[in-house]
């Protein structure tokens, strides 16, 4: 998986830290870091909440995954 720089930029543009986003999503900070670093894809429910929180189409989190594997 590729690092999600766009996600980091989106988070920072909203003024959130990784820990704040993790707390708002009710996930561990490490789990959120893995999402942002591209090492994990979130469960759909978490992806939807993250998209709503940061203002992007949540499906972007899963783009290109079917090509890797």
C-alpha atoms less than 13 angstroms from C-alpha of 41 in its C-beta half-sphere: 14
pLDDT given for residue 60 in this prediction:
95
Specify the pLDDT at position 64: 74
Tokens in use for 33? 């870091």
* Domain 5-61 top-level CATH class: mainly alpha
**pTM for this entry:** 0.88
- CA dist 58 to 26, 46, Å? 17, 9
State the pLDDT at residue 63: 87
* 21 exposure class (CB count in 10 Å sphere: 0-12, 13-18, 19+): buried
């Amino acid at each position: 998986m590729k690092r999600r720089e766009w996600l980091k930029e989106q988070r920072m543009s909203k003024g959130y830290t990784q820990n704040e986003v993790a707390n708002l999503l009710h996930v561990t900070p490490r789990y959120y870091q893995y999402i942002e670093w591209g090492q994990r894809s979130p469960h759909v429910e978490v992806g939807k909440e993250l998209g709503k929180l940061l203002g992007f189409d949540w499906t972007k989190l899963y783009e290109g995954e079917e090509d890797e594997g």
